Amino acid sequence: MFAVALVTILTEWKHIHSKGYKKVLAIFTSPIFMLSNVPIAFISLFSKPEWKPIEHSVSAKDLDSRSTSERLPTE
């Protein structure tokens, strides 16, 4: 996984719009990120996914009556 990250960074160096030290850091952190998927994949083999509907208490009509400032998230 380290080799794949290294080859990818080296071949796409000019196309990755980031600072050089972040690109090098990505080479070392990429295998950690990829290994974090192993437990998720293992658990997914033995679990049965269920559909759980989400109840929505706000209708489109309610949203239209609100002002723009209430609809937009604040930063």
H/E/C letters for each residue in the chain?
CHHHHHHHHHHCHHHCCCCHHHHHHHHHHHHHHHHCHHHHHHHHHHCCCCCCCCCCCCCHHHHHHCCHHHHCCCC
pTM, full prediction: 0.52
Residue 1 lies in a domain: yes
The number of distinct structural domains making up the chain is 1
Boundaries of domain holding 13: 1-48
Reported as a single tens digit per residue, the pLDDT across 5-64 is 999 999 999 999 999 999 999 999 999 998 999 999 999 999 988 889 988 777 777 666
Enter the tokens of residue 39: 């437990």
Q: Name the residue with tokens 């989400």.
A: 54
Reported as a single tens digit per residue, the pLDDT across 13-24 is 999 999 999 999
Residue 27 lies in a domain: yes
Enter the tokens of residue 35: 């290994």
